[in-house]
Amino acid sequence: MRMVRRTGDAARLAVPLGLALVAAGCGGSQSTLEPRSRASDEIATLWWWMLVIACVVFAGALGLIAIAWLRRRRPGLPLVEGGKKLNLRLVVLFGILIPITVNVALFIVANFFVIQQTEAPAATTTPMTIQVVGRQWFWEVRYPGTGAVTANEIHIPVRTRVNVVATTGDVIHSFWVPQLNRKIDMIPGRRNRVLLSADRPGRYRGQCAEFCGIEHAHMAMYVFVQTRADFDRWLRGEAAAAQSPSGATARAGRNAFFGNQCASCHAIRGTPARGQVGPDLTHVGARSSIAALSLPNTADALRAWLRDPQHVKPGNRMPDLDLSEREIRVLVAYLEGLK
């Protein structure tokens, strides 16, 4: 009985869940069909053309099936003279010439126009280069020449061509911000590049697009596109060393941080913490999320994370340090103060 009820529930839920899934796939801040840059605009246009061509071909195939069904009781072949003999010219035209022409045209357009528009130009011709390292499971972001290192949040100035150099610290990942450009794989031993630029300020979601282990789905990031002045201010702040803790609770948190091996995995610039395993925490308090967008950056979420990181994001590299509630409280105060 219970089984039957469950099956009924599942059936009732199927339609709204399916619709929600479709809605989630279209629109929102991660859609390739809402391009916000020249490169993604080219990709979207190509996609729409491919959709139109595919629909025409599909409609043609459906039409042929319909004709075959309507004529199922009549002898002979449809659409050919007298219905007796297969017309070789039709086969050559629809089976060989049209498919080859369409595919070659798509290849030429994609290869010589769209890919040219989406590829990062030589590093010397863009005003800015940033390095993004894919790691299980977060994004390390570096701004060469400035000392700024952050995680899971990329800031770039609006209408500026930024050369992203993508590498990996472990396995293959794929860097993808659908509204801004195509994806680029991060492959061990290689330095791949992709162009990042946006027409208007905003926040654009990116996602790892290559299965890289158990938390692949929770490897997301934001690209913040800012006005030049806002970006310059952000970069200056990000490049600076960490603030000293203010207040007794935050100071106790700093002591807890250095008393609990946190520094062997995390770096906080301006302190002895130089670990390179986890994200740089120098300005962690200023970020909008933690754990590669798995959680918002709030005191509650930070507490939950420190209490049991493996529960929040199973498989991640952060061990359960068995911290006391007092240690968690002061650590959160310290980390939140690192703006």
Q: Which residues bind ligand CUA (CB under 6 A)?
A: 134, 137, 173, 208, 210-212, 216, 219
Q: How far is the CB of 211 from ligand CUA (least distance, A)?
A: 6
Nearest of 249, 252, 253, 262 to residue 321 by alpha carbon: 262
d(CA 77, CA 277): 69
Nearest of 305, 220, 329, 319 to residue 262 by alpha carbon: 319
Q: How far is the CB of 290 from ligand CUA (least distance, A)?
A: 17
Whole-Å CA distances, 42 to 33, 49, 113, 122, 252: 10, 11, 8, 20, 53
Closer by beta carbon to ligand CUA, 210 or else 238: 210
Closer by beta carbon to ligand CUA, 173 or else 287: 173
Q: How far is the CB of 266 from ligand CUA (least distance, A)?
A: 20
Q: How far is the CB of 8 from ligand CUA (least distance, A)?
A: 37
Q: How far is the CB of 174 from ligand CUA (least distance, A)?
A: 7
Closer by beta carbon to ligand CUA, 137 or else 257: 137
Closer by beta carbon to ligand CUA, 208 or else 290: 208
Residue 265 CA, chain-centre distance (Å), reads 25
Task: Supply the DSSP string of 159-198, one letter for each residue.
Answer: T--EEEEEEESSS-EEE--TTT---EEE-TT--EEEEE--
Closer by beta carbon to ligand CUA, 245 or else 309: 309
d(CA 35, CA 40): 5
d(CA 95, CA 108): 21
